[in-house]
Structure 1
Amino acid sequence: MKLMFVSDIHGSIYYAKRAIDIFEKEKADQLIILGDVLYHGPRNPLPKDYSPSEVAELLNAYKGKIIAIRGNCDSEVDQMVLNFPMMADYNYILYGNKRLFLTHGHIYNENNMDRLSGGDVLIHGHTHIPVAKEVADKYVVNPGSITLPKENNPNSYGILENNLLEIKDIEGSVLKSIRL
């Protein structure tokens, strides 16, 4: 199974379309959205082509292929226009012999991994900074932000296939990788 991870779309139809184009090009089986789907938040600038209603419409067409987590900018009103669940603060999925802990990162992150066991993989967004590393006996991954990257990082996403997790820029170049 091939999984694609995006985080922090923040209502940009331009980058939501880029994410869907990449999802199709990568031939991923599931698109995992790690929060901050529709709203840009008060601390962020308006993203390119800000149109939360268009983002909702686009993503709803893929509802059967999306696993989503709530971010700190997501709310109940957002759930009213999305046809896939996205209000959970975290979710677990099994990938081979690994347990993936999916969250946005504003509650559970590298400094709060109390829900993880040895060998688990913490995958989160929120910081808009790509990360792929091992911490003690766990893995920490952040695909960065598809829309609003920080610290001079490029717009990015993650791909997990055959236990190799790669973080790529939107042109497909590998920025970071880790074998799980």
Structure 2
Amino acid sequence: MPTVLITSDSHGFKDEVQQLKDQYKHKVDAMIHCGDSELDYAHPAMVDFLKVTGNCDYDPEYPEDLTVEIKGTRFFVAHGHHHNVKMTLDAITYQASEQQATIVCHGHSHLAHATKVGDQIVINPGSIRLPRGRQEETYAILSWDDHTYKINFYQLNGKEVKNLAAQYTL
């Protein structure tokens, strides 16, 4: 079963990013950071992450967005500040559709959620240090088989945030 770690909005907390990397590097098929790391693109904590720029990232090496295929599933990754994700998911899902992506990963709002929009699954892992809308800092783990996608959210201490979990069939 393919598995992907998704995190975002770490805002300079390199030790937390490194902790996630050390914990999951050999347990997942890919690691995604949805922007606002506030670290240089080549910072050791960011090595091995598929990553995009956020509105608080200033290293020009970061791409604005990224489309990548992981174990047969196409992902579109963007921070979301250029897509107005705090107001609507329309722009980001439209651009993801243009890239024929099934999974849309974004950050920016610091609000952890997973939702199905048409034939796409949109995931915001929340923030691993500065959550909004809840007390728990969060990151997400996506796993799938055939057409069933399961999203679980966790705190840095490894405790699952069960009321955020979601499962969708496409």
With the length of structure 1 as denominator, give the TM-score of the two structures: 0.72
Identical-residue share of aligned pairs (%):
26
* Letter matched to residue 168 of structure 1: Y
Quote the offset at 1:159 in angstroms.
1.1
* Letter matched to residue 179 of structure 1: Y
2:138 maps to 1:152: no
C-alpha RMSD over aligned residues: 2.6
Structure 1 runs of 4+ off > 3 angstroms?
A: 55-58, 95-98
* Uncovered stretches (5+) of structure 2, i.e. residues with no partner: none
* Uncovered stretches (5+) of structure 1, i.e. residues with no partner: 39-51, 80-84
2:106 maps to 1:124: yes
Quote the offset at 1:151 in angstroms.
1.4
With the length of structure 2 as denominator, give the TM-score of the two structures: 0.76
Residues 1-180 of structure 1 correspond to what in structure 2 (within 5 A)? 1-24=2-25, 27-38=27-38, 57-59=43-45, 63=47, 65-76=48-59, 87-108=62-83, 109=85, 110-112=89-91, 113-117=93-97, 120-162=102-144, 163-170=149-156, 171-173=158-160, 174=162, 175-179=164-168
Whole-Å Cα distance in 2 between the matches of residues 140 and 75 of structure 1?
25
Residues 32 and 119 of structure 1: CA distance in aligned 2, closer, same or farther (over 3 Å): closer
What's the secondary structure of 2:141's corresponding residue?
Answer: strand
Instruction: Give per-residue Cα distances to partners, 1:40-63, cap 9 Å, x unaligned.
Output: xxxxxxxxxxxx58x964415xx2
